């Protein structure tokens, strides 16, 4: 998917995939949700999401709502928080972009 947001192009085909997560529900379920965190060649983070009619990725026209997909730009701090909440510990520990964001307790 490719989308222009605030005059910047976010493209899932040219960005590096960092981590994917899904709630495991089938694509026909209104609550189905899958998201993937990406990093562009210039180091910007973004989330690509695909979800059913009852998710944050849904679209509507006032009378009805349907599943959709989209892209959401993220700061590095937001990307770290998303990884922490979506089983992304391995990405946080291994990806060079997050080395400075993770410290020993």
Which residues are within 8 A (CB) of 41 and not within 5 positions of it... i.e. 6 or more apart? 14, 15, 16
Residue 102 lies in a domain: no
The domain containing residue 42 runs over which residues? 2-97
The CA distance from 50 to 18, in Å, is 16
Report how far residue 79's alpha carbon sits from residue 76's, in angstroms, rounded to the nearest whole number: 5
Give domain status of residue 105, yes or no: no
In a domain, 23, yes or no: yes
Dist CA 1 CA 69 (whole Å)? 9
The pLDDT tens digits for 66-92 are 999 999 999 999 999 999 999 999 999
* pLDDT on residue 102: 87
The set of long-range contacts for 67-70, using a CB threshold of 8 Å and a minimum separation of 24, is 67/30, 67/32, 69/1, 70/3
Rounded Cα–Cα distance for residues 52 and 55 (Å): 6
Query: Per the domain annotation, does 104 fall within a domain?
Result: no
Give percent of the chain above pLDDT 70. 100
pTM score of the predicted model: 0.92
Domain count across the chain: 1
Structural tokens at position 46: 């973004």
| pLDDT tens readout for residues 4-60 | 999 999 999 999 999 999 999 998 899 999 999 999 999 999 999 999 999 999 999
Q: Is residue 12 part of a domain?
A: yes
Whether 76 is in a domain gets the answer: yes
Determine, yes or no, domain membership for 47: yes
Residue 18 belongs to a domain: yes
pLDDT for res 99: 87
Confidence of residue 104 (pLDDT cuts 50, 70, 90): confident
């Amino acid at each position: 998917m490719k989308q222009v947001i605030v005059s910047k192009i976010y493209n899932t085909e040219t960005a590096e995939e960092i981590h994917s997560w899904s709630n495991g529900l089938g694509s026909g379920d209104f609550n189905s949700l899958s998201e993937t965190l990406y990093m562009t060649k210039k180091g910007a983070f973004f989330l690509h999401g695909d979800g059913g009619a009852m998710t944050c990725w849904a679209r509507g026209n006032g009378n009805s709502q349907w599943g959709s997909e989209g892209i959401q730009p993220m700061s590095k701090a937001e990307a770290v928080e998303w990884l922490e909440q979506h089983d992304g510990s391995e990405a946080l520990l291994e990806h060079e972009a997050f080395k400075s964001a993770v410290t020993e307790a």
